[in-house]
Structure 1
Amino acid sequence: MLQITNTHAASSAYVRLNQVGYITGETKQAILLASGSDSGASFSLVNTTTGITVYSGTVGSSKGSWSSTFPDTYLIDFSSFQTAGSYSIHVSGSIKATSPTFKIDSGANLYTNLLSNALFFYQSQRDGANVNSSVLNRQPSHLTDQTASIYSTPSYNSSDTLQGSLKKIGGPIDVSGGWFDAGDYVKFVETASYTDAIMLFAARQYPALLTGGSADINGEGKYGLDWLQKMWNNSTKTLYYQVGIGDGNGGSILGDHDQWRLPQADDKLSVSSSSPAYYIKYRPVFEAGSAGAQISPNLAGRLAADFGLCYQLYHTSDPTYANQCLSSGETVFDLAKTSSVSQLLTTAPNDYYPETEWRDDMELGATELYNATALGNLPSGLAHSDPSFYLSAAAKWANAYITGPNDGSDSLNLYDVSGLAHYELYNAITRAGNPSGLAVSQASLLSDLKAQLDAGTTQAKSDPFGFGIAYAGADATPHALGYALEASFYDQLAGVSTYKTFGLTQRNWALGSNAWGSSFIVGAGSTFPNCMQSQIANLAGSLTGGSPLQLGAVVDGPSATSNFSGLSLQSGMKACPPSGGDIFKTFTGKGARYYDNVVAWPSTEPADDYTALSILVFAQQI
């Protein structure tokens, strides 16, 4: 693995581009970031193997200011050059610059290894006994989850401090396995249900790429399903939504975030029931409600989608398992609480993932149950064996989303799955023969998807790098990947190429064509996060960009500058970067900062839901 050095010493100009490379026939653009005017400068494309200039041109007109430090940016377009090879861009003018080395090649050659990296990330996040020791020396962890106790939902104050004690209400229950949510070791149905839906959809769409071998997303998706099946008891109709507590009360009860360690260390703790670290070893499981209680519709919708996709993927290869999935999916869907909905159930505390929209989840769940039941040869005893039931329900919830308070306010990500739901429902309506009487039409689905993309393209016009989301928020990288996917969904359904360049720009942004000149995916490109806020990466991986790495991890990327106050090393953390400092600070702009430091959770914490979208984006390139 390439050793990453400080390539951001004082300079006047930088060439920002997709460091993974460009597919031969696609639009190929880079951005020149300059400290002063460089209008009319020329650039040359140099083959790094031969040293020969193979293409030359003039930089485009100014794309506007990035910051007071870099008031000038320019487009470099070399789309017409299509010869495979390894290259760098050299800018000659009043301010000179040279790009990182990149490739022009086929999608398969550029992106296949990145799919393998994505699988590597999820295997590094595995909990339980079934881990792969060749992945960052992972060892079995949290084996006490096999006999966990059940607790009622705890109370937290506005500072996420646990109030009172935990109330045990049942158990034991086996909730072992699954994935750690992010850089910590808590497990949530909220994020796992979303992650698994994306992975299973990807495996269904690209079976040749994602089944078996070094990118077996199909198999890893089933690993996620196994855990979700444990968190849902279909016999008693009870949902459990979380394993472990992130934050305790700072004294008598410690949470996961109070210690920095490798996960297997938790099993070695010697604790009594009164020890502050008791709930770190014997992790609580939180119940969403009593047996048969209604379920928060965001969780119900996504779980229904997971179980519907499960049936679609495994009804032939493992019919018993698939039938169990379908029965669970139908039951969960029927228990969704869809009236008088107030605060959605996500996690404890809620503001770890403060989700507010749920109609999109119900649309996706109904659509995947339609796709499952439309396969025919269904098991007996289902609540709804007529596929039209689910098609009508999907259209109902699509219409409710489109006419609801959050329509078109986001791109595809954890908090809004409407882009994927609309795509799936459009195709389901085609599959059903475009029946009359549905609450939504294909035209209205396409129009709503277009409205989301138009919001992104409008925002992109105000950014020299064409990013489709305002920088002052968070979750920048998954938003970019989500827009890349929505652009492809729309163009495919409409039979156009209207948003192709916009989609490529979002992909390129995540892979290095941004002000900071960093890819936000570990192992993708020449500069990527070295210092993630991941306990596994920090304690078992390299701190300098060498091997081993938590390959495939997608991090947040730039975040609002206000999010970086009060950051400090936690006991047990390895300082990263070892020398300290912030080599990216000079590139702060548009109210956003990117900080590659283990303390900087707003920029460098990896997450399961972030990484899921990269699988689909990379598969599409191939």
Structure 2
Amino acid sequence: MASFHFLFFLFFSFFVVCDVHGYPNYGDALAKSILFFEGQRSGRLPADQKITWRSNSGISDGSNAHVDLTGGYYDAGDNVKFGFPMAFTTTMLSWSAIEYGKRMGTQLESVQVAIRWATDYLLKAANTTPNKLYVGVGDPNSDHRCWERPEDMDTPRSVYSVSPENPGSDVAAETAAALAAASIVFRKTDPQYSKILLKTSKKVMEFAMTYRGAYSDSLGSAVCPFYCSYSGYKDELLWGASWLLRATNDGSYFAFLKSLGANDDTDIFSWDNKYAGARVLLSRQALVNKDKTFESFRVQAEDFMCNILPNSPTSKTQYTPGGLMYKLSESNLQYVTSITFLLSTYAKFMMASSHTFNCGSTLVTPDTLRNLAKKQVDYILGENPLKMSYMVGYGDRFPVRIHHRGSSLPSLVSHHNAIGCEGGFQPFFYSGNPNPNILTGAIVGGPDQNDNYPDDRADYSHSEPATYINAALVGPLAYLVGSYH
């Protein structure tokens, strides 16, 4: 009888992960990838919160600076609110809704809720104090010495900002991009909110353009080495202007982005480096709208694709034996999901304009890009040498010891007493046991260059989830939901 139950379990698990055509269940993965954001929420949680092991946290954030900075998201497995990756996360969620919202079905509303949780916070960060943008809450150095639930935080909730005297063109322009992209998302469903987002975006972009400087130089150890602006701020100025151009059609943004002279060749796209994203976004004008003044961005976007494609003579991208893109050893899946978004979206623009291009003598069609994007998504969802899904709670085998404080510590519901700064290390952090709380939908940093994954909580470079890993995969998942039933 036991063997029958085991066989039934195997059959059921396969049925859950694969639909009748043998594809991964993209609909299930899409829903979970969005649900993950509930587990990252800071502030007072709403009555309809589905990830119920989380409780209110950070409800006095900003009070030591006499401002309200409650809400927003914790970026990864820690309890800090970093504005730079939060804004990029918001931009990517918004871009997903803009390009693929029609394929999301009932999940579109969930994506809009996830976006709004971030934009409500970003509006506070941008509008609370004149000529100041708040870009972080929580002392990261103190926080990273602790292993405690967000509900128990007793580390300093220091507030960090950029200003004319201490500029941060990168974080400001990324915030402007997030607000502009979100303004497009809410244009029909909440026009008043959309107008507020766009007005604030313009203001923050003006600040980014006027007071030039990298926020890493202004804020030092408050953001480095966690989210240093390694690529400088020109890419964010290009990105922010590109999104405002998309949202407003105001030619002054086109004039500005042309004046930047951003010609850097790139083979990456991330919370730090936006060149490729901006070029793909701008190339829509050249391909879909047939506007020749955007041709240079189309050429740059295609150069990027040629740097990614495995059979391209100019490829700069390593692939694991199992076929996963491999860019950097720390949190590699963040680059995989972001680049996969660009592959899917550029293919969409190519399809709409019956366009192809060449990498050397290799012909690239929309299907070339889409097939590579699908392979990356399928790998993440379990079609890999380990047969492991890298999305928590998806499939029958997934990471169970993720580097995430709230997931790895007993919830307030099950353990009422506070767990202090160092109280979580023993017996929880160093335990070999699975995390008590499943952070459904979280995509971890992923396997190494040989497709190995140790599932070790202490190995944060592979086992830590992050909002920007998930945000970039929402669009490709929505595309696949609409294409493979």
Alignment counterpart, residue 484 of structure 1, candidates 340, 348, 361: 340
Aligned equivalent of 2:477: 618
Coordinate RMSD, CA, aligned: 3.4
- Aligned counterparts of 1:476 and 1:244: Cα–Cα separation in 2: 26
- Give the number of the structure whose alpha-carbon radius of gyration is greater: 1
Structure 2 unpaired stretches of 5+: 1-9, 356-364, 415-431
Instruction: Verify: 1:196 aligned to 2:65, yes or no.
Output: no
Distance 1:487 1:244, change over 3 A: same
2:113 match: secondary structure = helix
Alignment counterpart, residue 510 of structure 1, candidates 380, 386, 411: 380
2:137–2:160 CA contact under 8 A, matched in 1: yes
Aligned equivalent of 1:388: 251
Aligned equivalent of 1:329: 201
- Aligned counterparts of 1:618 and 1:555: Cα–Cα separation in 2: 16
Structure 1 unpaired stretches of 5+: 1-47, 51-84, 88-99, 150-170, 248-254, 267-276, 375-386, 560-588
TM-score (norm 1): 0.63
Distance 1:351 1:229, change over 3 A: same
Higher helix share: 2
Q: CA deviation at 1:220?
A: 1.3
- Aligned counterparts of 1:538 and 1:186: Cα–Cα separation in 2: 17
Distance 1:212 1:547, change over 3 A: farther
- Aligned counterparts of 1:129 and 1:594: Cα–Cα separation in 2: 35
Question: How do 1:531-550 residues align onto structure 2 when only pairs under 5 Å count?
Answer: 531-540=401-410, 549-550=438-439
Question: How do 1:81-92 residues align onto structure 2 when only pairs under 5 Å count?
Answer: none
**Cα deviation 1:108-162 (Å, max 9, x = unaligned):** x8111222212221111111113455413221112211x522xxxxxxxxxxxxx
- Aligned counterparts of 2:78 and 2:386: Cα–Cα separation in 1: 26
- Aligned counterparts of 1:334 and 1:455: Cα–Cα separation in 2: 40
Aligned equivalent of 1:466: 323
| Corresponding pairs, count | 433
2:341 match: secondary structure = helix
1:393 match: secondary structure = helix
Q: CA deviation at 1:191?
A: 0.8
Alignment counterpart, residue 118 of structure 1, candidates 28, 33, 44: 33
TM-score (norm 2): 0.79
Alignment counterpart, residue 444 of structure 2, candidates 546, 551, 555: 555
Aligned equivalent of 1:182: 76
**Cα deviation 1:529-555 (Å, max 9, x = unaligned):** 101111111124799779852111011
Question: How do 1:601-612 residues align onto structure 2 when only pairs under 5 Å count?
Answer: 601-612=460-471
Distance 1:408 1:549, change over 3 A: same
Alignment counterpart, residue 310 of structure 1, candidates 179, 182, 201: 182
Higher normalized contact order (CA 8 Å, seq sep 6+, divided by chain length): 2
Aligned equivalent of 1:449: 304
Aligned equivalent of 2:157: 283
- Aligned counterparts of 2:300 and 2:316: Cα–Cα separation in 1: 22
Letter in 2 for 1:284: S
**Cα deviation 1:236-258 (Å, max 9, x = unaligned):** 121111100121xxxxxxx2233
- Aligned counterparts of 1:222 and 1:361: Cα–Cα separation in 2: 22
Distance 1:210 1:593, change over 3 A: same
2:174–2:240 CA contact under 8 A, matched in 1: yes
Q: CA deviation at 1:473?
A: 2.1
1:175–1:231 CA contact under 8 A, matched in 2: yes
Higher strand share: 1
2:171–2:215 CA contact under 8 A, matched in 1: no
- Aligned counterparts of 2:192 and 2:276: Cα–Cα separation in 1: 31
Q: CA deviation at 1:294?
A: 6.9
Q: CA deviation at 1:455?
A: 6.9
1:521 match: secondary structure = coil
Alignment counterpart, residue 528 of structure 1, candidates 398, 402, 405: 398
- Aligned counterparts of 2:17 and 2:130: Cα–Cα separation in 1: 58
Letter in 2 for 1:491: A
**Cα deviation 1:316-363 (Å, max 9, x = unaligned):** 433332222222211221222589756746871411123322333222
Alignment counterpart, residue 114 of structure 2, candidates 210, 220, 226: 220
Alignment counterpart, residue 351 of structure 1, candidates 198, 201, 225: 225
Alignment counterpart, residue 246 of structure 1, candidates 117, 121, 140: 140
Letter in 1 for 2:401: C
2:134 match: secondary structure = strand
Letter in 2 for 1:197: T
- Aligned counterparts of 2:126 and 2:111: Cα–Cα separation in 1: 22
- Aligned counterparts of 1:262 and 1:351: Cα–Cα separation in 2: 23
- Aligned counterparts of 1:462 and 1:477: Cα–Cα separation in 2: 12
Q: CA deviation at 1:490?
A: 3.4
Q: CA deviation at 1:101?
A: 8.1
Distance 1:456 1:301, change over 3 A: farther
Alignment counterpart, residue 599 of structure 1, candidates 435, 443, 458: 458
Distance 1:300 1:133, change over 3 A: closer
- Aligned counterparts of 1:422 and 1:106: Cα–Cα separation in 2: 35
Q: CA deviation at 1:599?
A: 1.9
Alignment counterpart, residue 59 of structure 2, candidates 129, 140, 143: 143
